[in-house]
Amino acid sequence: MLMFGDEYNIVRHFPDYFLDYREVLDPSIRWTDRLQSSSGEWSGNICDFYFRVYNKIIKDVKVPFSMKGGDRIDDTPVHKALREALANCLINADYYGTRGVVIKKDQDRIIFENPGYIRTGKEQMRKGGESDPRNKTLMKMFNLVNIGERSGSGVPNIFNTWEDQGWKEPVIEERFDPDRTILTLEFVDKTNKEKTAKKTSEGSTIRNKTIENMVKIENYLKENGESKTNAIAEYLNLSSARTRKILSEMKTIEAIGTNTNRKYRLKDNQK
């Protein structure tokens, strides 16, 4: 068992809640997989937690076929980014805090939560170039096995990797009382999100225009009384079909007459 001084003893002293991995891949089940430092089924130390969790969070990462020197390369920038995110979460955790490290994985995202505020500040963490790890011994341990960046470039590399994959930009959240840092990585196509946002915006614009035309129709009927669809359509500069659609949605007017001679007027309580 690998031990590394005070950080190891801290976690062993509070085993009930300090290391917690939760995986929910089936919405009908609360947890499809869970790993806690208090379970008694494993050592409960940080090093063991790191490797067990890392192997769980990379299970669904696609590995393109690539060869180097006759050997297949099974490592990708996404693997490296996930290693960095997990190591960063553990290295910067405040193990004297009131809440523990929680890693959550579902179908399209992974959330890394650790107790403690961001010592360099959220903006500096995103920008990189400045490192102030809370647990330097842990950082040295991970560096010895080529995990983690010494120069503070780890988080920017995560953002760059997500950008290269075309995924939604990672989100860094900082909470206080109790202090907590949360990094959310989504495996979601950014273009789909943008399309959805654009569609929502376009839908809102169309709805606003429809409401504007409804007000115009009410004003027109107040001035002109009973009117046919063609006359209203000409006033709005819309097609007859579009005008009939708007008229059918209005609760303040009523149709009178047959299909061939149908007219519209304001209801009595709207005049």
73 and 150 inside one domain: yes
150 and 208 inside one domain: no
* pLDDT given for residue 192 in this prediction: 67
Instruction: Tell me which of 73-87, 127-141, 144-158 is least confident.
Output: 144-158
Q: Is this structure's pTM higher than 0.75?
A: no
Is 89 inside a domain boundary? yes
Distances (CA, A) of 220 to 23, 70, 207, 237, 238: 60, 79, 20, 13, 14
The percentage of residues in the chain with a pLDDT greater than 90, rounded to a whole number, is 52
14 and 134 inside one domain: yes
* pLDDT given for residue 50 in this prediction: 95
What range does the domain containing 180 cover? Answer: 6-188
The percentage of residues in the chain with a pLDDT greater than 70, rounded to a whole number, is 84
Smallest Cα–Cα separation from 33: which of 97, 89, 95, 104?
104
pLDDT tens digit string along 101-113?
A: 999 999 899 999 9
pLDDT tens digit string along 203-238?
A: 778 888 989 999 999 999 999 999 999 999 999 999
pLDDT tens digit string along 238-257?
A: 998 899 999 999 999 999 98
> What average pLDDT does this structure show over 151-159?
85
> What average pLDDT does this structure show over 164-192?
93
- 10: domain CATH number? 3.30.565.60
> What average pLDDT does this structure show over 36-47?
86
- 219: domain CATH number? 1.10.10.10
- Written as six digits, the tokens of 164 are 């290269």
Tell me the HSE value of 174 on the side-chain side, using a 13 A CA sphere.
12
147 and 211 inside one domain: no
**CB-based contacts of 175: which residues, under 8 Å, 6+ apart?**
181, 182
Give 193's pLDDT tier (boundaries 50, 70, 90): low
Contact 128, 155 (CB under 8 A): yes
